[in-house]
Structure 1
Amino acid sequence: MDKKKVVAPLVCHGHSRPVVDLYYSPITPDGFFLVSASKDSTPMLRNGETGDWIGTFQGHKGAVWSCCLDKHALRAASASADFSAKLWDALTGDVLHSFEHKHIVRACAFSEDTHLLLTGGMEKVLRIFDLNRPDAPPREIEKSPGSVRTLAWLHSDQTILGSCTDMGGVRLWDVRTGTIVRTLETKSSVTSAEVSQDGRYITTADGSTVKFWDANHFGLVKSYDMPCIVESASLEPKFGNKFIAGGEDMWIHVFDFHTGAEIGCNKGHHGPVHCVRFSPGGESYASGSEDGTIRIWQTGPEQDGSASNGPSQNIKDVVNEVTNQMRNVLIAEEEKTGAE
């Protein structure tokens, strides 16, 4: 591997057990934030840029499988093996509400308008809680065919995207009718499903494959075989020209989105990588591992491709060429003056 691709990450300690989920907030007036879920039962909030610890959410009595922030980064949510999902004040760390379930909760997601919280897990039931009326019974959506692994909102909260732990495919529910309207077929169970920041793509990881789907027409756009079984993948949000994937081999691999060619990889974790996510501006990406650490890697210039490096290098070449031409003219004039 090319030495220039070795990047020293910011290492974030604090969790005592494996880190299984990461979630970046959008960019807010106060910056952007990173929340992490761990089997140690305590989600943590960090500065998304520096990785500095801000606070720990204390209250769960079992492993936390999923975590998220609303778009303003004012509230957090978590899904746990203690049969509950919790809503937190991200500024104080206080529990705002605890939503009780009858089995392990594996996934949670805030709606785009921040008024709803979606949960799912071993009960195979999707629930939508109204955060303006947290004590009210949730709306229950048609049963999932298997235990819910991942959940996400699509199309301005009109569609729900979900995958299962025990079967392949990604299912799409129409929120209005509460029914499954389409299934995106995969051979293995989908362990990671991410909607791109611009809403164009759905990025999935299943087995040793990363796939990109059209988020509006649901056709398969690209499918790439990975060097190992991967658990998570994330598309760069600004240019959309590369993606990252992490899994069993403990490396975070960087690939060209258009060709699937590997353009970088980073090693530092001492256990399988469970989750990878790009920051909202694409300048860095985070990885969470079985080793209990979070690592934040800067997007190196060698990985930015022509989108960011090409123009600046071209300008440098032009400047150098003009400088050389001016130097040659001056030399020629000096020689002419000397001859006279």
Structure 2
Amino acid sequence: MSVKQVPLTCSGHTRPVVNLAFSGISEHGYFLISACKDGKPMLRQGDTGDWIGTFEGHKGAVWGVALNDDGTKAATGAADFTAKIWNAVTGEEVLSLQHNHIVKSVNFSTDGNLFVTGSNEKIIRVFDLNKLDADPITFCGHTNGLRHVTFFNNNRMLVSCAEDKTLRIWDRISGQEVQKMNFNSSPNSLEVSNDESTITVTHGNSVSFLTCDRLSCIQEMKIPTKVYSASLHPNKSVFVCGGEDLIMYKYDYVSGIELEAYKGHFGPLHCVKFSPDGELYASGSEDGTVRLWQMYVGKSYGLWKCAEDSFEEKTPATAVI
């Protein structure tokens, strides 16, 4: 008898959840941060969804979020034209970086020393967090607003996608664009695999997997809906994705066979992400909730104590982190 997938529902946001990010695994486990149009990004314990706190300070929708590897720093990018870095332990704002337009994407380098932003200015900026008096390195070439940008190849390279229907690779040292791929529609999500060999990108009704070195297409999967986000399991066995039809899909990465399809959200899925240990994946939706789904349904993990347990609604307290 198959076991029913029962996601944990993390409520508390009042508007659509548009971006999610996990930290790496530390002595305290791992953490999850969510970006929301309500302007109040939330930090949670990653394996349970338990609310830790809310970062207060933005004056507009938050579009991008990131955590450094050990979960001690958080970053947010927002419609108030700022990117902010926070102490994720105390909740204090550490740094606010002014931009000239909406900041859509933020990310830390793996060592936490560099910080990248992508904005509707069509500009990528890389800040050295150890030399804040120095001007950021800028990368120009996109002809429309940035959607996502992140580091790879030991932080030497950057990959970005934008509303100009392109994905681009940049050499951080030379400052040059070195690769470009065109799509028929604007890419909606972008992810680099843990081993930094594979780029996962969603566009239209497709999920494409590309090599990081040459942007060669490894494979492309057609999804039965307009897909907004996809995430590849750390061991590359499966990938999950979701979009317009409210369904969370899981596919076998090698064969392309659909393994699971669950409806849990009450609005389109804007973002999905695997946890660093691969035991669960998170989704954020137009319905204002974050949901956590088990990779191995029925396994005792986190708040899933046994297959018969019902889900637990996670509602944050009113305190600020």
TM-score (norm 2): 0.90
Residue 277 (structure 2) pairs with residue 284 (structure 1): no
- AA at the equivalent of 1:183: K
Moved more, 140-149 or 80-89: 140-149
Instruction: Check the 8 A contact 1:5/1:265 in 2, yes or no.
Output: no
Larger radius of gyration: 1
SS state of the match for residue 2, structure 2?
helix
Displacement of 1:241 in angstroms is 1.0
Alignment match, 1:179: 176
- State the Cα distance separating 1:59 from its structure 2 match: 0.2
Pairwise CA distance, 1:216 = 2.7
The structure where helix makes up a greater share of residues is: 1
Alpha-carbon displacement from aligned partner over 1:206-245 (angstroms, at most 9, x marks no partner): 01000111123321101011010000000011x3111001
2:98 to 100, 103, 125: 100
1:300 matched residue in structure 2: 296
Is the contact between residue 122 and residue 140 of structure 2 (CA under 8 Å) also seen in structure 1? no
Q: Is the 8 A contact 2:3 2:297 kept in 1?
A: no
Name the CA distance, whole Å, in 2 between partners of 1:74 and 1:301. 30
Aligned 1:182-201 pairs, distance under 5 A: 182-201=179-198
Task: For 1:5 and 1:137, locate their aligned partners in 2 and report how far apart those are by CA, in whole Å.
Answer: 54
SS class of match (1:14): coil
SS in 1 for 2:259: strand
Matched residue type, 1:120 = G
Aligned to 2:217: 220
Give the C-alpha shift of residue 274 in structure 1: 0.2
Aligned position for 1:314:
none
Aligned to 2:307: none
Which ranges of structure 1 fall in alignment gaps of 5 or more residues?
A: 304-340
Residue from 243, 253, 276 that aligns with 1:247: 243
State the Cα distance separating 1:296 from its structure 2 match. Answer: 0.2
Partner of 1:129: 127
Question: 2:208, 2:2 → 1: CA distance?
Answer: 28
Cα shift at 1:134: 2.9
Partner of 1:79: 77
CA distance in 2, matches of 1:235, 1:60: 31
Q: How many residue pairs are counted as aligned between the two chains?
A: 299
Q: Determine the structure 1 residue equivalent to 2:30.
A: 32
In structure 2, what residue type is equivalent to 1:171? R
Mapping 1:1-340, distance limit 5 Å: 4=2, 6-165=4-163, 167-237=164-234, 239-301=235-297
CA–CA distance in 1 between the matches of 2:81 and 2:215? 33
Give the 3 Å change call, closer, same or farther, for CA 66–246 of structure 1 in structure 2: same
Which residue is equivalent to 2:308?
none
Please list every run of 5 or more consecutive structure 2 residues that lacks an aligned counterpart in the other structure: 300-321
Question: 1:83 is matched by which residue type in structure 2?
Answer: F
* Distance in structure 2 (CA, Å) of the matches to 1:160 and 1:50: 32
Q: Which has the higher contact order (CA 8 A, sep 6+)?
A: 2
Q: How many Å separate the matches in 2 of 1:281 and 1:265?
A: 22
- Pairwise CA distance, 1:120: 1.2
Instruction: Return the TM-score normalized by structure 1.
Output: 0.85
1:308 is aligned to none
Contact 1:5 1:264 in 2 (8 A): no
Q: What's the RMSD between the two structures over aligned residues?
A: 1.5
CA distance in 2, matches of 1:202, 1:108: 17
Once residues 125 and 188 of structure 2 are traced to their aligned partners in structure 1, the CA distance between those partners, rounded to angstroms, is 20
Counterpart residue identity of residue 241, structure 1: S
Paired letter, 1:63: A
How much identity, in percent, do the aligned residues show?
43
- C-alpha contact 2:179 2:214 (8 A) present in aligned 1: no
Tell me the equivalent position of 2:312.
Answer: none
Cα deviation per residue 1:18-41 (whole Å; 9 max; x = unaligned)? 000000111112101000000000
Question: Which has the higher mean CA deviation after the structures are superposed, 195-204 or 79-88?
Answer: 195-204
